[in-house]
Chains A and B, each alone.
Chain A
């Protein structure tokens, strides 16, 4: 069973540009959430999607947005990039289903390393 897949793994952008990151969850997982990891702030929750709707949102500016497709794949977009957006962006998926099978465990991908110059 394939894990959470994130693309691209590495990318370099300049200030003012925008970036789109992609995440394919574990097969059968309908919830996808995104996290930002930086040395200064640690791991912070960005947002969660399931059933193609944003369900939960962290404390990030509107430049950070996301969406989810009908096959549960998700993308996140950061517009007007700033130097401080340099980070490892991690995607996680979670199974949503019958209570007895839904442990609430999150599974993470390898991340997309964004460098903003």
Chain B
């Protein structure tokens, strides 16, 4: 059974800092890994998708990496802004549309 762990559970940083969110998983037999953002009371916004055969993906200030051999993914956020405050979730797709989610990292960026 796939288990996904995200560390840290919560993170508070001053504006402008670069930061790294971590995601670890137990089963490397995945189709892809997706990073999402969730604002309070809202749905999930897809940030980055990394296919199983890829090592990293970049979108603007975001960079995500995937290392299947070690069961790890990281989301790097450069030059953080208060608008980046949200919960960040990583999810692994193992079959069809079945995603296994981590518990999330709650990020607060202080002005």
Contacts and interface: CB of A to CB of B under 8 A. Distances in A.
Interface of A: 4, 6, 31, 33, 35, 42-45, 48, 55-56, 58, 88, 90, 92, 94, 103-111, 113
Interface of A is mostly: strand
Nearest to A107: B46
Contacts of B103: 42
B71 to A, nearest CB: 19
Contacts of A55: 96
B96 A48 contact: yes
B43 A108 contact: yes
Contacts of A31: 96-97
Interface residues of B, number: 25
Nearest to B97: A33
Contacts of A58: 98
Contacts of A48: 96-98
A3 to B, nearest CB: 9
Most interface-central of B31, B32, B43, B98 (chain A CB within 10 A): B43
A44 B4 CA distance: 12
Interface in B27-70: 31-32, 34, 36, 41-46, 49, 51
B98 A105 contact: no
A111 B96 contact: no
